[in-house]
Amino acid sequence: MPALANPRHERFAQLIVEGLMNGERKAYSQGRAKMRKNAAAQQKQPHLDCLRKVKPILDRVRELQAEANKRNESKIDLSGERVGRDLDQASRIAAEQKNASAMVASALGIAKVFHAVPNDTERHLSFKTAQSMQDIGKRLLMTVGCESPSSAAIDLAIEANDAFVHRLEQIAEAERGGDAT
Give me the residue spans of the domains in the chain: 7-72, 79-117, 118-181
The Cβ-side half-sphere exposure at 62, using a 13 Å CA radius, reads 7
Share of residues in the chain with pLDDT > 70 (%): 71
Q: Taking the alpha carbons of 78, 80, 86, 87 in that order, is the dihedral positive or negative?
A: positive
Judge whether 102 and 94 are in contact, CB under 8 Å. Answer: yes
The band of 170, judged by pLDDT with boundaries at 50, 70 and 90, is very high
pLDDT digits (tens, 9 = 90+) for 16-31: 777 777 766 555 555 5
| Residue partners of 60: CB distance under 8 A and separation at least 6 | 1, 3, 4, 9, 10, 13
* One-character DSSP codes across 69-89: HHHH-------HHHHHHHHHH
How much is the pTM? 0.33
* Whether residue 62 has pLDDT greater than 80: yes
pLDDT digits (tens, 9 = 90+) for 140-167: 888 888 888 999 999 999 999 999 989 9
* Whether residue 51 has pLDDT greater than 80: no
Region of 71 on the Ramachandran plot (φ > 0 left; ψ -120 to 50 alpha; else beta): alpha
The band of 89, judged by pLDDT with boundaries at 50, 70 and 90, is very high
Question: Could you give the C-alpha distances from 9 to 6, 27, 34, 37, 39, in angstroms and in order?
Answer: 5, 13, 11, 15, 15
Mean pLDDT of the chain: 78
For residue 119, what is the DSSP state?
-
